Chains A and B, each alone.
Chain A
Amino acid sequence: MSEKIPPELSLDALKSGNRDEFTRLVDAYSGPMYRMAMKMLGDGQDAEDVLQNTFLNAFKHIRSFEERSSLSTWLYRIAANEALMMIRKRRPETTMTDTSVEGDEGGEYSPLQFVDWCCLPEDELLSVEARRHLDRAIQRLPEKLRIVFILRDLEDLSIEETRQVLDLSQTAVKTRLLRARLNLREQLSSYYSERIGDRIEKK
């Protein structure tokens, strides 16, 4: 994502309210924004609301877009804020997992599972059931870790872009990313070591 504005889009046309151009913007970016919202919220209806609000807001505020970041980073920023607001709306009381994220960010996080499940065949690692488990594991991450993991590892943003989207320091992005990855590794280790157990039993 080196270019700030993709060559097929004209920022001047977008800023002047050109509907053809805005339609091109929607078609270019609705896919990644919808996927991000789906992974963040795990619910089609909520993801759709986030998608609509993202482009309604983009439409409304495109004139204030200043090219300090790329257009896609700017859209991710709107979408991420919408998704986080949706989560807060859905669950107004603050949960324990969420308040703890801030406090223990720099703290230790020691791995607990040491089963090597890398040897499982690819079709088992990516079976329909395993894919569902991969999605569920993301949903179990505290939202502040979840959003960092989704942007960096699923949407393939750089650390710097993730930092811009979330208004965080590089260090905070790196710490949250590491914690998210280690948390998912633990969850996947529990799941796949059971699969290894199943295979041994069958033999």
Chain B
Amino acid sequence: MTQSAHCKSLLDSLSEYVDGTLSEELCNEIQRHLSDCQNCSIVVDTLRKTIYLYHAITSEPADVPRDVRERLFHSLKLEDYLQH
């Protein structure tokens, strides 16, 4: 395979590679390619970081603002369950 064909084949399995769900054999193949392709290496690192940053901004508990919760309970006719 040419270098660009390696880059293209990496792109196809990129999600599985960063999620760690790829077979060991394919992983090794990708790692060999990454060790001598700087651009692909940057794509993998920055893709990992992209996913990490989005995880980081949603790791806080998902709270519903108090007024939104109150209106939700009213719309569901559950207002008697609202604790004041």
Contacts and interface: CB of A to CB of B under 8 A. Distances in A.
A158 to B, nearest CB: 10
A65 B61 CA distance: 27
Nearest to A175: B15
A16 to B, nearest CB: 16
B56 A126 contact: yes
A46 to B, nearest CB: 12
Contacts of B45: 116, 118
Contacts of B58: 35, 39, 154-155
Given A31-B61, A48-B68, A126-B53, A118 B47 contact: no
Interface in B1-50: 8, 11, 14-16, 38-39, 42-43, 45-47, 49-50
A177 B12 CA distance: 12
Interface stretch (A51-59, A75-83, A86-94): A51-59
Interface stretch (A4-12, A18-26, A97-105, A160-168): A18-26
Nearest to B41: A116
30 contacts: A19-B78, A23-B73, A23-B78, A26-B72, A26-B78, A30-B69, A31-B64, A34-B68, A48-B68, A52-B75, A56-B76, A108-B8, A110-B11, A115-B42, A117-B46, A117-B49, A118-B45, A118-B46, A118-B49, A125-B49, A134-B53, A134-B54, A135-B57, A153-B51, A178-B15, A181-B50, A184-B50, A185-B50, A188-B46, A188-B49
Interface of A: 19, 22-23, 26, 30-32, 34-35, 39, 44, 48, 51-52, 55-56, 59, 108-111, 114-118, 125-126, 131, 134-135, 153-155, 174, 177-178, 181-182, 184-185, 188-189
